[in-house]
Structures are given as structure tokens and as C-alpha cells.
Amino acid sequence: MAVSLQVLRTRSPGVLTALCPTRVVLDHVTSKWGVLVLAALADGTRRWGELRREVDGISEKMLASTLRTFEADGLVERRAYPEIPPRVEYSLTPLGDELAEAIAPLLDWVLAHAGEIVDRDASVQTRGSSVSR
């Protein structure tokens, strides 16, 4: 069962303040690419090229940055094999697996409502542009 914001505030009174360490973790996880990379790795170990293809639209720079951040956070493990050509694989750590399980309901909700939200947003944008003319 989800923890209410009130319970969260009681447990950790500064949770919404700018100096709370949760901000750092939330910034990493909820970055533009963070949730998508976690979701791709939730299905199992991936090589660089597999991740790049699966997370459509991510640049090499952003994939590298996201993976480095998650590795530093202890969410992703990078395993390099001493082979020619080099082979590097990425997988979730137990902490990363736990996070992926926690965000799965969010992804389910987004999948269920994305069309409705995007349609509504487009409708509002269209009405806004006709009013400003």
C-alpha cells in the first residue's frame, strides 16, 4: 500500500525541502531518461547497443550520463569483459530491482492514461493558440 504524503512528512519532516537528500535521488530517477533506462534494465541485463535501441531517442551522451549516475547511486552494475571487441553489460543491482518494482505501478498508470492526457493537452494547446490570435 502506498504511503500518504502526510505519513511521509511525519516520518521525515524535511522531505519536501530543497536540502533533503531525497531531491538528489528523485532528480536522478525522474530525469527525462531515468525511468526509461530503469524500465529497460528491469527486463534483464543489456549491452550498450541494446539499451540505446530500446530507449528510443536517447543520445549516447545521455545514456552514458544516466548509466554513470545510476552506477554511482548503486542502482546499476556495469560489467566489462576483457574481450576483443570489448563487451560491456549493464544490469540492475538488488537496490535497482527494488526501485524498478516500485516504479512499475507508475508506468502502468502512465500507460493507462497517456492517450487521454496527451489528447487533453493537445486540445488545451489548440484552444490557447486560437484565443491568442
**Structural domain boundaries in the chain:** 17-101
pLDDT tens, 50-63?
999 999 999 999 99
Q: Which residue, 118, 94, 30, 93, is CA-closest to 66?
A: 30
Question: How much is the pLDDT for 52?
Answer: 95
What CATH architecture is 17-101? Orthogonal Bundle (1.10)
Q: Which residue has the cell 535497482?
A: 96
Contact (Cβ atoms closer than 8 angstroms) between residue 41 and residue 55: no
Q: Whole-model pTM?
A: 0.79
More reliable by pLDDT, 116 or 19: 116
